[in-house]
Structure 1
Amino acid sequence: MVYKKRKWLLPIATAAIAMTLSGCSNGNGSSNSSQEAETKDKQFPIAVSNRAKPIEGGTLSYGMVASTPFTGIFNSALSTTSADSTVAQFGAEGLFKTDDDYKIVDGGAANLKLNVDAKTATITINPNVKWSDGQPLTAKDVVYSYKIIANPATKSTRYTEALQNIEGMEDYNTGKSDQISGITSPNGDDGNEVVLKFKEMKPGMTQSGNGYFWEQASPEHQLKDVPFDKLVSSDEIRKTPLYYGPYKLSNLVPGQSVEWVPNEYYYGEKPKLAKITLSVVSPSNATQAALSNKYDMIDVQNNAWNEVKNAPNTEFIGKIPLTYYYLGFKVGKWDADKGENVMNSNSKMNDKNLRQAMGYAMNIDQVYEKYASGLSFRVPSLIPEQFGQFFDKSVKGYDYNLDKANQLLDEAGYKKNGDYRTDKNGQPLVINFAAMSGSAIQEPIIQNYIQQWKKIGLNVQLTTGRLIEPNSFYDKIQADSSDIDMFTAGWSLSSEPSPNDLYSRKAPFNYSRFASDEQDKLLADIDSKESFNQNHRQQAFFKWQEWMNDNAYVIPTYNSYGIKAINKRVVGYDLTPSSSWASVGVSSN
């Protein structure tokens, strides 16, 4: 049950927790696959082994390991964190079903038909789909999500250059029109059909998570009277969200816990559980919770693997998620008026040699062998290996090389003056580094890197003088706070590998704020008409990875195995993309 639809901010910056395993597929199919997921040097099954019949009236408890309360933004057009997606996973089903390769197939809440010649996508809603209040899912609900995203008053970070490929999106965003001309409902607002008209067709459109159309709906009948600028803070979003997935929200303690009960209007397989309870578990309590079987499911902190691997009445499932963490360098700001990232040529970090040197100084392999039982590992590229042919094996990334780091700084004119180097003008150089709080290993890992940078003469100091609570961290990152020169963060990726939504000139998620004419061309080629040819697209991905590796505005650091401890009474839970929470049950009380 892997969230594959959207790119999410990861709420931690350590190997402690793999939040991406907490999401649920949007499909309504199930899988009883018992295949093994082979990892670099470990093996974990990707499905529970219990094949017993689920009991009636069973309940399931879910422990979400997090160092901070969830924000509780329960609408995918406004939410950005994987924590919120984890909380919402039991009801938040997407429009389209996928197979286990993330290809969109028929049979979900809606079907999709692409017409390359006409440059359209037709969405046909299953007439049996209803919201959890009994109202039918209709065309206006699909259209309303686009309006939420594109209306500037919502400040949605989902409004990307990719979605601007839909005709009329920019006119709606800028107030030139009160409707999106390229989104029409042939059978009326209450009909079951929506047609999207694109400026160009893109090669990734057959895959879920491609970013060129939105794959969720919003309950227009519930939200239409809430002003767009009040939407994100409204009770309708925060306290009484509606879903058309297998479960509906029944009780909420903001930031701490939620209860879910079956959605009696669910169009698919009847849910097997009478109640699901999710609770936030602090990293300091997670190991004991796993050992004592306090929850039916809980994320395993990789640094605690050796302690929990023999927990009684427990089995472990896992895989390497579509995730990576990275070191980002602030070289500009987001210009809201232009709707794009604007670089500052005088930025402290706008020197390629400096950025590269900081990458070479990081002893990532040593860190995660020590602190994460080898369950985290350095990654060389911003296109993860799981993307197969699009992953460039020749990109080596930034392995540990202090000599190379010092050489780069010397060549660039950063001269030693005592323990630390000066800037090119001979002035003291202090680099402000923002990092999130997390598990018990977060502090020593971050302090280790600060010491590594000191070895090459760089004076790196923590922004605010300490690790920052995750929600506050992303507030500062998104606002381009002046006390941040660089930061470490992470992405949970969608299942279509195009990096446009994260790193393009017009991507709000491009938190380093770099922009380049050369990168514009490289990204455009990845999603070009020519890239309908897979060989051409592969080469386009390779060129972009090489460019990013060389320019080092963002340096990939590591990924981690995502492991869950599962009580042996749990039935029907697996990590295949086509799986559904409707299939999950328990075989005993």
Structure 2
Amino acid sequence: MKRNFIPRKAVKRMTALLLSMLLLTLTACGSNGNNTKTGDAKDTQQTSGKEKIVNIGMTDTLTSVNPLLMDATEILKYSLAFEFLPLVELNSKLEFQGMLASSITTEDNRNFVVNIDKNAVWSDGTPVTADDVVFTVLKLASPKLANASMALYAFEGVGDDGFVTEGATEIKGVKAVDDKTVQFTTKYDMALTTFENTYGRYILTIPKHILKDVPEDQLASYSWFNAPTVVDGPYKLSAVDLQHYASYEANDKYFKGAPKIQKLNIKIVTAAQLLTGLQSGEIDFVQQTTGGILQEDYKSVEGLSNVTVNYGAPVTNQSIFFNTTSVTDSRIRQAILYSIDRNKLVSGFMNGKGEVVDGFLSSASPFYDASVVPTEYNPDKAKELVKEAENDGWDSSKVLQFYVNSGDTTFTQAADYITASLADIGIKLQVNTVDLATLMSKAGSKEFDLMAVQYTYAPVDPYPDVNWLLSADGWTGYANPEITDALAATQKTSDVNEIKKQYLTIDNLMQQDVPMISAYVISAMGAVNKRLTGATPDVYGSFINVNEWDVTK
């Protein structure tokens, strides 16, 4: 999931945006939106003994191929980053690695200095400059493009709605210092990791010298983006059908080294088709956050002789959120936590490919504290808490409405197990299995008592999601001044131990008040055909070295 910097006062206006962002952590396979086609679609199906062609299987449709319309979905981010580099990217070790930028630094958590790689050039030989970055941010903040996904309101000179004044020619908080240096200035204290993860990974620089004369009201629909002539990334888009494929040709002038594979295709399929595609060789590569291999297919994929699998770091949290305005007694929420045997969920439903934690942080996070022992399975303790709550007026005849995503076949089964467990301690639960759009609608309007959804809290930058979720306007409706202060403190320092200390405070309060239960954290499967060398599917960093991928003869 994409992360946006969200100060408390901005929570309400960002709620709808974050609801849409959640879609990218789910293995939704539906097709929506209009098709856009250029070139020959047959290229996505060809194999050749002369040309090297690789097919990447993904299970979400594209909404656009215009980097100025970034919608925060992982498939769009990666498909565009093949052409237009982000400033930095997270590698498999969860370290920020320079892509267009050679470094990003800050001394005061307000002013961020971005140094552009001195060797960075566009495919036509023109150097990539600070002016290109400033131009890109200015267009992203244009009210005529009206794209709020970048949360640019954090910068000086940008309105609280995320846009500049119509016709603006500069942004106070985004300035070119020299040809290869940009300074960003924020309105609020911001951790370096938040800047890198929110802006460094998602600002995809476009060429000013090519696009500067295009009227802003035409940029959103400008056909040039369907087959751009000038890029700074390893590949150029050559053909696209938003619901079915995107085809690329190598940029032989890529400044980090010409790609070894001439043609690269994204094939958009259903999750059920990934197994057969990997088996037949029609799909060469499946990455964890853009291609959701079905849990029930894991063993079959592991058994394929032509495929190597890789389980990514545990980052996707199967979260159960409480509406604390309807499930008001924290003892009832605690009782539900005590009554769920989460280790059994991992062993029985996840084939052991996951872990149990309390709160938002998994072991993949640098801020994870192993001293926080997950709440034990203790049905007797749960019964005691229910009895205490009943004595103080809790109505146990109430049937709690539990909403679950119908597309998550694994958890729909787990929900029935949880319902039976709660019945044993005297809590009635009604499972409502709904599609993702309905689930998000229920979440946004708080028409639920409990709701479950897969949610990826960025290990290096959990702040924006935690800040929003633990607020009166977030799904939980839960706010705690101590948590507010702890979260604010994480944005004033880059000291990992200090940030870890603040999240320990939050985790302890989560165990006490339980606005959210982590049912389990998923280690998702990625897969790669053995003919493909130099490629490892992982939660982060899979495509950093795509120009070095190769295929055996």
TM-score by structure 2 length?
Answer: 0.75
Moved more, 306-315 or 124-133: 124-133
Pick from 441, 445, 461 the counterpart of residue 410 of structure 2. Answer: 441
* SS of alignment partner, residue 9 of structure 1: helix
Preserved CA contact (<8 Å) 1:10 1:490:
no
- Aligned partner of 2:111 in structure 1 is 120
Moved more, 491-500 or 260-269: 491-500
Preserved CA contact (<8 Å) 1:12 1:489:
no
Structure-2 change in CA distance of 1:58 and 1:247 (3 Å) = same
- Aligned partner of 1:293 in structure 2 is 281
Identical counterparts, % of pairs: 20
Pick from 472, 481, 486 the counterpart of residue 522 of structure 1. Answer: 486
Pick from 419, 423, 434 the counterpart of residue 467 of structure 1. Answer: 434
Structure-2 change in CA distance of 1:442 and 1:541 (3 Å) = closer
What letter corresponds to residue 525 of structure 2 in structure 1?
Answer: I
Distance 1:129 1:495 in 2: 29
Deviation at 1:521, TM superposition (A): 0.5
- Aligned partner of 1:393 in structure 2 is 370
Gaps of 5+ in 1: 18-54, 332-346, 416-422
- Aligned partner of 2:306 in structure 1 is 313
- Aligned partner of 2:452 in structure 1 is 488
- Aligned partner of 1:580 in structure 2 is 545
What letter corresponds to residue 554 of structure 1 in structure 2?
Answer: M
**Which string of whole-angstrom CA distances, capped at 9 and with x for unpartnered residues, describes residues 443-482 of structure 1?**
323333333334444443345xx331x4x2575267x135
Deviation at 1:354, TM superposition (A): 3.0
* SS of alignment partner, residue 112 of structure 1: strand
Distance 1:261 1:492 in 2: 32
**Which string of whole-angstrom CA distances, capped at 9 and with x for unpartnered residues, describes residues 326-378 of structure 1?**
112235xxxxxxxxxxxxxxx21343223323333333322332233222332
Distance 1:117 1:3 in 2: 24
- Aligned partner of 1:453 in structure 2 is 422
- Aligned partner of 2:51 in structure 1 is 57
Pick from 149, 156, 164 the counterpart of residue 167 of structure 1. Answer: 156
Aligned Cα RMSD in Å?
A: 4.4
**2:515 counterpart of 1:553:** yes
Gaps of 5+ in 2: 6-17, 30-48
Deviation at 1:587, TM superposition (A): 1.2
Deviation at 1:137, TM superposition (A): 4.4
Deviation at 1:270, TM superposition (A): 0.7
**2:22 counterpart of 1:9:** yes
Distance 1:488 1:76 in 2: 32
Distance 1:283 1:368 in 2: 21
- Aligned partner of 2:329 in structure 1 is 351
**2:352 counterpart of 1:374:** yes
Deviation at 1:152, TM superposition (A): 11
Deviation at 1:135, TM superposition (A): 7.4
Moved more, 208-217 or 440-449: 208-217
* SS of alignment partner, residue 237 of structure 2: strand
**2:412 counterpart of 1:412:** no
- Aligned partner of 1:499 in structure 2 is 463
Distance 2:401 2:518 in 1: 19
**2:302 counterpart of 1:325:** no
- Aligned partner of 1:271 in structure 2 is 259
- Aligned partner of 2:242 in structure 1 is 254
Preserved CA contact (<8 Å) 1:60 1:296:
yes
Moved more, 319-328 or 208-217: 208-217
Distance 1:507 1:140 in 2: 38
Deviation at 1:584, TM superposition (A): 0.9
* SS of alignment partner, residue 273 of structure 1: coil
Distance 2:4 2:73 in 1: 13
Distance 1:281 1:237 in 2: 26
Kindly report which structure 2 residues correspond to 1:55-204, keeping only aligned pairs within 5 A, or say none.
Answer: 57-64=51-58, 66=59, 69-72=61-64, 75=67, 78-85=70-77, 87-88=79-80, 90-91=82-83, 93-96=85-88, 101-104=93-96, 108-116=99-107, 120-126=111-117, 129=120, 137-143=128-134, 144-145=136-137, 148=140, 154=146, 156-159=148-151, 164=154, 166-170=155-159, 173=162, 180-187=171-178, 191-198=179-186, 204=191
Structure-2 change in CA distance of 1:99 and 1:12 (3 Å) = closer
Structure-2 change in CA distance of 1:284 and 1:101 (3 Å) = closer
Deviation at 1:583, TM superposition (A): 1.0
Distance 1:490 1:76 in 2: 27
Distance 1:69 1:350 in 2: 39
Preserved CA contact (<8 Å) 1:250 1:261:
yes
What letter corresponds to residue 285 of structure 1 in structure 2?
Answer: Q
**2:339 counterpart of 1:361:** yes
Moved more, 299-308 or 265-274: 299-308
Structure-2 change in CA distance of 1:279 and 1:435 (3 Å) = farther
Structure-2 change in CA distance of 1:372 and 1:289 (3 Å) = farther
Preserved CA contact (<8 Å) 1:102 1:208:
no
* SS of alignment partner, residue 542 of structure 1: helix
What letter corresponds to residue 59 of structure 1 in structure 2?
Answer: I
Distance 2:472 2:130 in 1: 28
Distance 1:414 1:157 in 2: 47
Deviation at 1:427, TM superposition (A): 9.2
Distance 2:398 2:225 in 1: 44
What letter corresponds to residue 570 of structure 1 in structure 2?
Answer: L
Greater fraction helix: 2
**2:297 counterpart of 1:304:** yes
| Pairs aligned (count) | 506
* SS of alignment partner, residue 482 of structure 2: helix
